[in-house]
Amino acid sequence: MKQMKRIHYTKPSITDLEVKYATDAARNGWGERCYEYIGRFEEAFKAHFGVKYAIATSSCTGAMHMGLAALGVGSGDEVILADINWIASASPITYLGAKPVFVDVLPDSWCLDPEKAEAAITSKTKAIIAVHLYGNLCDMDALLAIGEKYGIPVIEDAAEAIGSVWHGKRAGSMGMFGTFSFHGTKTLTTGEGGMFVTQNKAFYEKVLSLSNHGRVAGQTRQFWPDMIGFKYKMSNIQAAIGYAQMERIDELIAAKRRIFRYYQNALSDLPVTMNPEPEGTINGYWMPTIVVEQDVTFDREQLIEMFQQQQIDGRVFFWPLSMLPMFGEKPENRVSYELYGRAINLPSYHDLSEGSQQRVCRVLRLMLES
C-alpha cells in the first residue's frame, strides 16, 4: 500500500531567488557589504507597509522587548493585552519587570476586546498591545481612540498579520510601533527573525540606539555605548532571504488567501466559523482556523488524533495565557476560556494542493457529521 504523503500544518516557500540572494550574502556579504541585504530588506519592508522607519531584528520578541523598553516600561507598570495569544506577546513585558494584564477577546475576531481593555486601565497602565491573531485584525479605530483618550500608546503585534489591512492601512503601521515575525511558520520568513517599525523618528532613533548595544548614532568615540542596550540584530544572510521574500510578497499573500477560500467554501455547510474579514478590511489569513459551534459535541484532542492517523498535522488554538502556571487564572475571561477548546488551526503552507485540502476536509466532516 502506498503511504500517504504527510500534510504539514505549515512550511516556508523558498525558491531559487532566496537561495541566490542568500548565497551572495554568504560569499560576498562581508566587510563593506556586511549590512547590504539588511538595508535592502528594511527599505523594501518600509515601502510595502507604508512606514517611515524599520529595524530588522533577530525575532519579533526582540523587537517587542526593545520597543517596550524605549517606552520606559519598567517595574510596577502594567501592559494590557488579550488573554488568547502566544506567550511571545507577553514575555517581553515580564523581562522589564512589568505585569501583563490579560483581558478577554471578542467572539468573532478572537482579538482584544476594546471595552474590556478600557475597563482594565489603571494608573499603572503603560501600554496596550493589539495582537492581530492568525491574520485577524484588532479593532484599531476603537483601540487608538482609547489610547488617545487616556494618553496610553497602542502597540501592534503583527507577527501573524502580514497581508492584513485595516481600512487601507497595513497591520503594524498604525500604532506607536509595530512588530513582525519571520519565523519559519510565517507568511514571510527568514528562518528566524523579526522587524520593528514606527512612524515616529525620535522613537525610531531611540530604539536604533538600543538595538546597537546602546551606541547612539553620531557618537564619535568608537565602542562607546551611551546606555545599556540590546543585541537583537538580524544577520545579513537572513536579510537576504527576507529581501527575496519581499520581492514575492504579493504571491505569498495571495497563496494564503487562496488556501483559506478553498477551506471556507468546502466547509461552509458545517457548524463552524472561520477567520472573519469585516467590510473595509483584508485578512492575510496566516492560519486558517475553525471554531466549532457550542451546541455541537466536539473533542479537540480526538480530532488531532484523527488527523495524525491520516498523516495530517493539526495545530491547537492558543491556550489562554492566564491558564499558564506562571500567570494567575482569569476565568472571568469567559470568551477566551470557552474558545480555545473548540478551535483548531488547519494546514496552510503556500504550495498546499487542493487534493491535500480535500483530505483535511474529509477528516473534519467525519468528525463533525458523525
Closest listed residue to residue 360, CA positions, set 316, 318, 304: 304
Alpha-carbon span 191 to 114, nearest angstrom: 33
The crossing angle, in degrees rounded to 10, of helices 354-369 and 300-309 is: 140
How many other β-carbons are positioned within 10 Å of the β-carbon of residue 112?
Answer: 29
CA dist 184 and 278 (Å) reads 28
- Is residue 186 part of the annotated active site? The answer reads yes
Q: Which three cell numbers stand for residue 207?
A: 530604539
Q: Which amino acid is at 297?
A: T
- Give kind and range of the element (H or E) at residue 209: helix 201-211
Cα(173)–Cα(175) distance, integer angstroms = 6
Q: What is the DSSP string of 81-122?
A: EESBS-GGGTHHHHHTT-EEEEE-B-TTT-SB-HHHHHHT--
Q: Which of 99, 126, 169, 186 is catalytic?
A: 186
Are 300 and 342 in contact, with CB atoms under 8 Å apart?
A: yes
Residues 6+ apart with CB under 8 A from 273: 108, 290, 291, 293
State the catalytic residues. 186
